[in-house]
Structure 1
């Protein structure tokens, strides 16, 4: 058993997967150049942060230059693109897209489960403190100052895919093969980018599966409580905020606490918004007998979907900028620090309320305001 764990956690296994996919280390280079057979060789300095610190498995170290050459460009773009599906830009677009264009019920389920597994994964990273694969031999395509076990990308992708698989059939008739493919691609992308071992990815997937299995029988009860209990808004705001303040402390700064606060803040804001919609009796959910048959994709429905997406994302981005601008200045004024003092912004008493307030506002606007704007401008 120990030998299996050692094999799955080895950097050599990750490096072997990268080579099999056409990603190889290259000699040191300060500029992109053409290699044999017109293969482009890219040079980048891995582990360097904006503040001059350097990453080495979650700790500071000397910078390591890791150049690479790509011999299979389709796989490169496939896996690098798949890796972005586990980042903030995906969550702030995909989850609202489900709400605006498919079914708020599905979005609610997704947001709830996403927040739970991501909090578990982020806390486990900073408690276990297991390093990421080492470079060399691994080529690292991303820069992250955080630990590796488990892969929260794999956890989030698995949770989103199988929450859809379990929830959608009772609501809408829609094929979900793409969700399973997305889960697999995101998981494999963590090996390709050199950010996780096979063990990190496997454990992340299994943890998500366990959370889904344990929680699934209670989804309907939790959904009813979230929408109808008078205690729901207070609990869904207070509990996540306490969890953010109680996040495990490290001996160095890591972005995991900020990322976790963003996720819990967005989830809390959405939850309050769903409760608010229920009070008003305007939930924007599909009507009629379930499951609902989706209309065929026509030019009109496609144009409306794109218009809703563009308008909605613009509102969310505006909300983020305005809320962050106001909250940052109020917090800096209260604690007597300069607005442009980045190191002060990382203090828990500033970082947690700043992130939580900004993203809870985004969650509330996403679930309450955006659809009402769609109604006003004729996009619903």
Structure 2
């Protein structure tokens, strides 16, 4: 009986991991590939550099950029020429005119990907929005906006959950080491994260944890309809999860695992949020422990695999979390962004007037400019300094950052400073000029 259940479970896992399901969903949504580079002239699938390959059940290391053999280059060149002829013959000029490439190249290999055709532009823009809800641009916009204009109390605790969810998700990827869905049959609508491992989907994890925790932390603290909050949280989660399948980045199994894994982390950490936030704000040794903990977690994650974008992202997330936790401590002792007394709860959302909207936008624009300037200045200072300290040539910045000695302190210091400035320096300056 137990053996039959185990076999059935394994079959279900293989079924959910099948890239054909991803390809069918893409076709249903109007995504059609034009790439024949992945097939040789005799119909045998070729190997695309930059993808994580899985042969015989064992996942191998990522192939470095430019690692194609001469034979592969000749085959790819022939296949590309055939692709152009086939597209022109089968699809006509109109189809050729609608063919596009992924918006961003692969962040590790520089691969720009192959052309594909979008037959439903509404779904393309919708799922592009959904996938951006799990990218750096969203995080550096959403969290500061919420801190400066809505509720610093909620944002502090939300960041704690986000850091743990993303950290555990990235580390789990580098332990399991499952490849991305195979292409073909999947169309790679996005290439940026294509060199990272696939299981679980950290987009699905953040797309589940952020809206869920946002609802749990605000409902009862703010007055709004229960159905509205639940609807927004569910819509957010579904949009992000489906967007990763649409982009060809994850299998259905990756998404389900990320969703369930995120729920588990939220259930475990939610009761501890009060303790963690109070410790960060009030304990005299909090700054030392915050720095030590986040550095230690970063060092551990850097031992899990060879260099990849996921390692840098993990250090970046830990640095941001450390900076915001340190800012919480500073703000508490300076009385900046104080939490409203319990007698004022639940809070009522203010009336949306042109003046309020203009003030929120002004805070956001000025604050983001400060954060972008902080990031630019710290990157310009930190990378050469760290390279000099460890004797690593800094001429090729991209190559230098692949050394752990450079990547960890660079990401940690830069984004730690950005996090500190987001919750402390920017509100402090706003208070000085009367914008709070």
TM norm structure 2: 0.80
CA drift of 1:116 comes to 0.2
Asked if residue 219 in structure 1 is aligned to residue 227 in structure 2, the reply is no
- Identify the residue that residue 354 of structure 1 maps to in structure 2: 410
| Contact in 2 for aligned 1:114/1:159 (Cα 8 Å) | yes
Q: Which moved more, 1:19-28 or 1:306-315?
A: 19-28
Structure 1 counterpart of 2:399, from 343, 358, 367: 343
- Distance in 2, matches of 1:173 and 1:348, equals 47
Secondary structure of residue in 1 paired with 2:395: coil
- Identify the residue that residue 60 of structure 1 maps to in structure 2: none
In structure 2, the CA distance between the partners of 1:153 and 1:146, relative to structure 1 (3 Å rule), is same
| Contact in 2 for aligned 1:26/1:41 (Cα 8 Å) | no
CA drift of 1:43 comes to 4.8
- Identify the residue that residue 131 of structure 1 maps to in structure 2: 179
Secondary structure of residue in 2 paired with 1:24: strand
- Distance in 1, matches of 2:381 and 2:327, equals 21
CA drift of 1:343 comes to 1.3
| Contact in 1 for aligned 2:102/2:188 (Cα 8 Å) | no
Matches within 5 A, 1:219-368: 219-249=273-303, 252-286=306-340, 289-341=344-396, 342-368=398-424
- Distance in 1, matches of 2:285 and 2:242, equals 41
Matches within 5 A, 1:78-97: 78-97=126-145
Aligned-residue CA RMSD in angstroms? 2.4
Asked if residue 377 in structure 1 is aligned to residue 433 in structure 2, the reply is yes
1:197-225 CA-to-partner distances (Å, cap 9, x unmatched) read: 01101100100101111222222222221
Gaps of 5+ in 2: 1-8, 36-82
| Contact in 1 for aligned 2:32/2:117 (Cα 8 Å) | yes
| Contact in 1 for aligned 2:107/2:309 (Cα 8 Å) | no
- Distance in 2, matches of 1:327 and 1:272, equals 20
Secondary structure of residue in 2 paired with 1:322: helix
CA drift of 1:350 comes to 0.8
- Identify the residue that residue 235 of structure 2 maps to in structure 1: 181
Q: Which moved more, 1:308-317 or 1:342-351?
A: 342-351
Asked if residue 108 in structure 1 is aligned to residue 162 in structure 2, the reply is no
In structure 2, the CA distance between the partners of 1:50 and 1:231, relative to structure 1 (3 Å rule), is closer
In structure 2, the CA distance between the partners of 1:251 and 1:48, relative to structure 1 (3 Å rule), is farther
In structure 2, the CA distance between the partners of 1:269 and 1:67, relative to structure 1 (3 Å rule), is same
CA drift of 1:229 comes to 1.1
- Which structure would you say has the larger Rg? 2
- Identify the residue that residue 205 of structure 1 maps to in structure 2: 259
- Identify the residue that residue 24 of structure 1 maps to in structure 2: 32
CA drift of 1:326 comes to 1.3
Structure 1 counterpart of 2:167, from 119, 126, 134: 119
CA drift of 1:232 comes to 1.5
In structure 2, the CA distance between the partners of 1:51 and 1:268, relative to structure 1 (3 Å rule), is closer
- Distance in 2, matches of 1:50 and 1:164, equals 30
1:126-181 CA-to-partner distances (Å, cap 9, x unmatched) read: 11000110110000012221100000001011110111111102322245332331
- Distance in 1, matches of 2:298 and 2:312, equals 9
In structure 2, the CA distance between the partners of 1:220 and 1:52, relative to structure 1 (3 Å rule), is closer
1:97-118 CA-to-partner distances (Å, cap 9, x unmatched) read: 1101100011111100000010
Q: Which moved more, 1:370-379 or 1:308-317?
A: 370-379
In structure 2, the CA distance between the partners of 1:38 and 1:169, relative to structure 1 (3 Å rule), is same
- Distance in 2, matches of 1:122 and 1:69, equals 31
TM norm structure 1: 0.91
Gaps of 5+ in 1: 55-62
In structure 2, the CA distance between the partners of 1:131 and 1:51, relative to structure 1 (3 Å rule), is closer
CA drift of 1:282 comes to 2.0
Secondary structure of residue in 2 paired with 1:148: coil
CA drift of 1:91 comes to 0.5
| Contact in 2 for aligned 1:66/1:136 (Cα 8 Å) | no
- Distance in 2, matches of 1:350 and 1:35, equals 48
Secondary structure of residue in 2 paired with 1:170: coil
- Identify the residue that residue 146 of structure 1 maps to in structure 2: 196
Secondary structure of residue in 2 paired with 1:135: coil
Q: Which moved more, 1:36-45 or 1:282-291?
A: 36-45
